[in-house]
Structure 1
Amino acid sequence: MNTTGQPGFEQCAERADIQAEAHARPPLAVEFESAEVWNWVLYDLPDDPAAWQTPYDPACRHKVLELAGGQLRIERHTEFVSVTWLGNGPPDAESLRVIGTCPGRQLAGARVLVRPAGWEGVADVFGPGRIFGGMARFTGVEVATDFQIGADQMVTYTLSGNFEDAFARGRLVKRLVDLETYRMAALLGLPVVRQSTPALQSLEVRTGVAMRALSSSEDETLAASIREISALLAEVGALREGLRYRIAASKAYYDVVSDRLASLAEAPIGQRQTLKGFVDHRLAPAIKTVGAFDRRISDVSATLSDAMALARTRLEQTSQEYNQALLVSMEKRARQQVHLGQAVEGLSVAAISYYVVGLIGVLIKSLPHFAVSVPVLQAISVPAVIALVWWNVRRAKARVEKV
């Protein structure tokens, strides 16, 4: 008897994994009013497990380590590893040593300085350079950055204000870290697209030439055009396949950046440009370039597919015209065969009748003498012989046609 108050259903095999995924990355809790969060994003990760040293494990999605100077969080993503250090000051030498054992190359880095409400040291952190930011989500909370990479290879952000608890403070820190991470990751597609643009331009030009060649009425030119279109389709397919993941990833990363900016819900401070204003102005055109490249590949592929369909139509039309001409020729030859058969039939009747009449003459000559001469009897038999031979030939022909 079930005493738990539940019906005792068998659990879905995937339920535990799905539930674990929802809690795989514990929320970031920043306990100190004055704290520093350093985040490194490592890219170009090695496939060899031997290249990963302790505490890094390529199979582990998330790990939290408590070090003497602070907390270290390691997160494995599809393309990169995110290493986040949290403490009430910069990471100490031992923490830097552990962080430095992570393989890969640095793609992005963010240093978030968390400060209490009323802090007025923004100008001291960024100096005379241009500052971006605004009031973020919670009343009295201010974010700022200059989007410049410092000597420590990090982009510095400041976050100041009153927070209800450590998790509220950690949520905004995490959004700033994600903003810097995915802002850089989204731009990975731009160099690839720029590098592939000359190849795409060449394909576009060759596609135009092949399309114009299809209007030629010469069979050799048409055949050459079909071969060129087939080769172009293969090249476009290879180019598209080689860039498919990178372009799709850039679009997905840009969507994450847009979500993080929307979640900050910035309000301008005076005439200072917000983080969203800067990112929209600098990042959106790059993503549009990537999107335009993707559309151009699609357009070339569609044009070549239409060209191949047109070529097939022309080939079918040419084949039909050839078949029509062949049928006309066959019909003409059939008529000639009929006429020839009729002529042969007439000649056959005449030849057979001639020999039959000759045989009749020989037969008559072997009989007793008649009053009528042999030639006269032969002449009299000619019509009957011709009619009989013609009737037999027609009957034989009818039998053959029935088979």
Structure 2
Amino acid sequence: MSRVKTALRTPWFWAIVGIAVLLLINSIKNPAYLALSVNPTTGLLTGNLLDILRVSAPIIMIALGMTFVIATEGIDLSVGSMMAVGGAVAMQTLATLDDPTSVGAMLAAIGLALALAILLGAVNGFLVAVVGLQPFISTLIMMMAARGLARVITDGQNTNATNEPFRQLSNGQILGLPTSFVIAIAIVVIVALFMRRTALGLMIESIGINPKASRLAGIRPRPILLGVYILSAALAAVGGLFSVSEVMTVSVSGTGNLMELDAILAVVIGGTSLAGGKFSILGSTIGALLIATLNKTVLFLGIPAAATPAFKALVIIVLVLVQSERVRSFALGRSKSGGTPSLGTPSPGGSSPAAAGQDSPATKEVVA
């Protein structure tokens, strides 16, 4: 029973429930929705589940980078534009090389895209960590600048290219799974091991919980913040590469458009607080899968484009509500003290957070 209660209090558990419910709704409409088949032309597996995994790869990448930014009590509104920059550099590189169909051309395109993204991420980090700008402002500026840079790179035109190795990033398969999804999960595992097997993850969380205390403890926030924004930009560029490789075309206005919202939603659904502090890499990954499933469900159910945002908002609101322990307690008639709990009420046998000297998110001091 204790394990069940623990699972019910885990945010990403409800994300899994949300995915299952959405798949059930789709299966009710079409009983063959979850079926897999083999394409007789390519010999590859096809099916709606594989499509969901394929489209989830870019969301997983930007959500992973956003997780660490939010854990430091920041925000990165430029990830969608970073996707466009990465895709624009890749497509423009492949379109201008003498031998654009080789593996070397693919590696050159990927390398240049990541290099530019790292540079732009370093600018974000510099503005936040050194100059001291608010993350919202600095990344908002970069969101507009990076999108404009993508237009400059492609002369404002949608650019396409031909490179079979690059196309296989999204359209190929490894052990029956989309290549982009396998690569995304591999990156998640590598980053998770690095964060949890070293002290970096704890330092990121400490900066998000109390920047001043972490600095007094000997942690230098500036290089960590710089690295976090560089990682976010690089992962967003990888997500952009996944997006453009599926159709081998970059749309300077469409690629990555509003994807920063999906990234933030995925991170919050996964259990990472916007107030900073502890983060959940697994939760963000599952949240990204939920967003991808929701996007495919909207298309499958034929919901009008005008009503799509409202439908997505409704699903997210329901999910966030069931994640709330207070809402669940109220629904079950088990609200503490027989009424609505008060944020300032001390717990039995202990003092309130304010009395214990703990900082609330609204009173945290931001230290560069």
TM range (shorter): under 0.3
**Greater share of strand residues, 1 or 2?**
1
- TM-score (ref. length: structure 2): 0.21
- TM-score (ref. length: structure 1): 0.20
- Which has the higher relative contact order, 1 or 2, with Cα contacts under 8 A spaced 6 or more apart? 2
CA radius of gyration, larger in: 1
